[in-house]
Amino acid sequence: MQRQNSLPYDQSAAAEWSAIVLATPEPCRAALDRLMTRDGEKLAHYFYEHMLSHPQASVFLSAEAVHQRLHQSMTRWLREIFRHPMDDTAGIVAHQRLVGEVHARIQLPVHLVSRGARLLKHHLHLSLAGEFSDAQLCAQASTYANGLIDLALELMSVSYERNSQREARTDEAYRLFAIGQNVGVERERQRAVLMEWTNEVMLALHRAGPAPLPALRKSEFGMWFHHKAIAMFEGDSEVEHIVDIIERIDNVILPLLRPRDGAAGEIDRVGDLQDEVDNLKFLLATLFERNQEAENGRDALTRLFSRRFLPAVISREINVSQKRKSSFALMLIDLDHFKRVNDTHGHDAGDLVLQQASSLLLSSVRNGDFVFRYGGEELLVMLVEVTQESALRIAELIRSKFETSPFSLSQGRSVSVTASIGLALFDGHPDHQYLVKRADAAMYEAKQSGRNRVVLAP
C-alpha cells in the first residue's frame, strides 16, 4: 500500500529532477560532474568533519563508522546526483527515499542533515567560483547544485516522515502489547527474583572474604526492569522513582555494606536496604495494578514475541546501549532440516517441534532477554548486556540443548532436531536492520558450512 501511494510522488519528483537538469546549461552540469569526480572525497570529508563537530552527532555517528562506511557512501551520493549525462532519474529519486528510510530507522535528527547540506552548498559555491571565468555560468551552476541538493533533501524528508510515523506506530503497539501481558504472572515472577536478590545480599554479608555485594542493576530483576519494564510502563511516574531506588541501592547503600566489616552502623544500613526494597515493591505493585491484563500480539503458535515488534525492541536496546555504554547481541536460529520433519511426520508434528523449541529458548535465557518468532522455522533471541564471550557461551549452550534434547511427537514418538545459529554483537551501528542482516548472514554461513553450529558475524 505504501509503495502504491508513493508512486505519484516519485513520478512527480523525477519529473522535477529532470526539469532542473534540462534547465541548466550543459557546461554547468559537466563542471559539477568533473568537480565531484575530482573532489568528491574531499567534499565528503568536509561534510562529516562538520557533522561530527555538532554535539548531538556523537549519539548517531562515530569517527570509526564515518571512516569505514559513511565517507565512501557520501562520496558515491555526491557523484550520483551530479552525474553527467544523467540517465536514471527514477533510480536517483528512489535512492534518496532509501536514504531517508535509513535516517528514520536510526532516528537521525533532520536538522543535522539540513545543517550538513547547508554547509555543503556553501563549500560547493566556493569551489565553483574556481571552475568558471564567466560569472553567469558560475551562478547557473550554483543554482543547479542548490536545486538538486534541496530536492534530494526534500525526498529524504518525505521518506523520513513516513517511516518515522510507521516506526512510532509500531513502537506504541509494542508498548501496548507489553502492558497487556499477564500482569499477575509477571508480578509474581518479579517479586520472586527480587526476593532472591535480597537473600543473596544477606548471605553475602555473612560470608568471609572481600567479594563485592551483587548489584541490583545486574540482577535478573534489574535487567528485566531496565530492558522490559521501562517500555511496559513508559510514562508512569513510578518508573523514575524505581530507577532512583535502584541507583541509590547500588551506589550508596551497598558500598557501605561489606561482609564482616563489624561496623557499629551495619544493622542500620541493612535496615536502610530493606526500606528501599520495600519501597521498590510498593511502587512495582502500583504499576502492575494500574495496568489491565489483555494478552495479545504474540505469535499464535509459539506464544513468543511477534516479529512486528522487533524494530521497536532493537531500537530501544540500541538507545539503552548507547546511554549505558553496554552491548547486546542478536541470535538468529534456524531449525535444521525442518521441512523433513513436516514431510515425514506431518505439519502437526512440525508445530509441536516449534512449540518445544520456543520453550527450550525461553528456559535458556534470562528475564531481560527477548525471544521472537522470526518466521517459519526461524527464531530470534536478543541477549542484553553481554560480551562476545558470554554471548558465544549462551549460543553454544542453546545449540547443545537442541542437539541433545529429543522433541516429543504424538503417540510416544520423538524426533531429533539441531539448530544453525548466527550471532551478531551490536557494534555501534544505529540502524537495527544492519544488525539483523549481520545475524542473518552468520546464520546462513552456519547452514552452508554443515549446520548444527554457531557462527559469529564479523
Cα–Cα distance for residue pair 230/174, rounded to 1 Å: 12
Model pLDDT, residue 66: 63
> Can you tell me the distance from the alpha carbon of 238 to that of 263, in angstroms, rounded to the nearest whole number?
34
Mean pLDDT of 373-399: 95
State how far the Cα of 343 lies from the Cα of 363, in Å rounded to an integer: 28
62 or 197: whose pLDDT is higher?
197
Q: What is the mean pLDDT of residues 280-288?
A: 87
The C-alpha atoms of residue 185 and residue 278 are separated, in whole angstroms, by 20
Residue 146 above 60 pLDDT? yes
Position 262 pLDDT exceeds 70: no
Percentage above 90 pLDDT, the chain: 49
Q: How confident is the model at residue 440 (pLDDT cuts 50, 70, 90)?
A: very high
Q: Computed from CA positions of residues 193, 196, 202, 203, in that sequence, does the dihedral angle turn out positive or negative?
A: negative
At 291, the pLDDT band (50, 70, 90 cuts) reads low
Confidence at 116, pLDDT banded by 50, 70, 90: confident
Q: Which of 377, 378, 389, 445 is catalytic?
A: 377
Q: Could you read off the pLDDT of 20-79 as tens digits, one per residue?
A: 999 999 999 999 999 999 999 989 888 888 777 888 777 766 767 666 677 888 899 999
Residue 168: pLDDT band (50, 70, 90) is: low
Quickly state the pLDDT bin for 325 (edges 50, 70, 90). confident
Give pLDDT, residue 296: 52
User: What distance in Å separates the CA atoms of residue 7 and residue 12, rounded to the nearest whole number?
Assistant: 9
How far is residue 92's CA from residue 18's CA, in Å, rounded to a whole number? 11
- For all residues of the chain together, what is the average pLDDT? 86
Torsion sign (Cα): 344, 346, 351, 353: negative
How far does CA 444 lie from the centroid of its chain? Answer: 21
pLDDT at 303: 84
Integer angstrom CA distances of residue 282 from 224, 226, 239, 297:
17, 18, 12, 28
pLDDT at 106: 76
* 347 secondary structure, DSSP code: H
pLDDT at position 319, please?
86
pLDDT the model gives residue 1: 32
Q: Is 209 left (phi over 0), alpha (psi -120 to 50) or beta?
A: left
The answer, yes or no, to whether the previous bond of 85 is cis (omega within 30 of 0) is: yes
Question: Among this protein's residues, is 377 annotated catalytic?
Answer: yes
d(CA 54, CA 34): 30
Poorest-pLDDT segment among 181-190, 271-280, 364-373, 430-439? 181-190
Please compute the mean of the pLDDT values over residues 240-252 and round it to a whole number: 94
Answer yes or no: CATH 1.10.490.10 is held by domain 2-173. Answer: yes
Domain positions in the chain: 2-173, 183-290, 307-456
Predicted pLDDT of residue 100: 86
What is residue 228's predicted lDDT score, i.e. its pLDDT? 85
Positive/negative CA dihedral, 316, 317, 318, 319: positive
Model confidence band, residue 177 (pLDDT cutoffs 50, 70, 90) = low
Topology at the third CATH level for domain 307-456: Alpha-Beta Plaits (3.30.70)
Of 45-49, 177-181, 247-251, 280-284, where does mean pLDDT reach its minimum?
177-181
| Higher local confidence (pLDDT), 109 or 82 | 82
Residue 280, pLDDT above cutoff 90: yes
